[in-house]
């Protein structure tokens, strides 16, 4: 982590809290609640919502999912805005449906830039950019 330690700790806490909120919304299968985790007009929100709808269309619900953060580089750290370069992977994901419970394989590590904005509803992701 290259940012000053207090900012890096804060950024990691914000990221983990946001990921936890996202996991709860995915488990509930609520597309409208998922869109509320993103800023208005976010292309990333549209992709995430489409992925959730795809699981739902197959009769599946992702009951559990956690992201393991492998590296975090804080590019911008302000009271109302953060830009983070994150390397993480999906771990401990479980899908249920058709009377079955299936553990999903761990994801490959991916590095992305996340832009977050803080508003009245808390921290929201505006966009995620593949690196």
Instruction: Note the pLDDT tens digit of each residue in 60-97.
Output: 999 999 999 999 999 999 999 999 999 999 998 999 99
Mean pLDDT of all residues belonging to the chain: 93
Q: Is 81:56 a contact under the CB 8 Å cutoff?
A: no
Q: Which residues pair with 114 in a beta bridge?
A: 84, 128
Q: What is the pTM of this model?
A: 0.91
Q: What is the DSSP letter of 60?
A: -
Under the banding of pLDDT at 50, 70 and 90, the label for residue 1 is: very low
Percentage of the chain surpassing pLDDT 90?
83
Task: Look at the chain and report how many structural domains it folds into.
Answer: 1
User: Could you say which DSSP state residue 29 is in?
Assistant: T
Q: Which structural domain, as residue segments, surrounds residue 9? A: 5-130
Q: How far is CA 55 from the centre of its chain?
A: 16
Q: What is the CATH number of the domain that holds 123?
A: 3.10.450.50
């Amino acid at each position: 982590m290259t940012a000053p330690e207090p900012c890096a700790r804060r950024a990691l806490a914000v990221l983990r809290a946001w990921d936890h909120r996202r996991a709860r919304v995915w488990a509930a299968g609520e597309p409208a609640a998922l869109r509320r985790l993103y800023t208005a007009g976010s292309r990333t929100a549209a992709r995430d919502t489409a992925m959730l709808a795809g699981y739902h269309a197959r009769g599946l619900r992702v009951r559990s999912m956690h992201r393991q953060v492998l590296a975090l580089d804080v590019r911008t750290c302000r009271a109302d805005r953060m830009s983070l370069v994150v390397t993480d992977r999906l771990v401990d994901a479980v899908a249920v449906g058709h009377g079955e419970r299936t553990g999903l394989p761990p994801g490959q590590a991916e590095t992305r830039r996340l832009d977050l904005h803080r508003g009245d509803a808390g921290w929201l992701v505006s966009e995620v950019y593949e690196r």
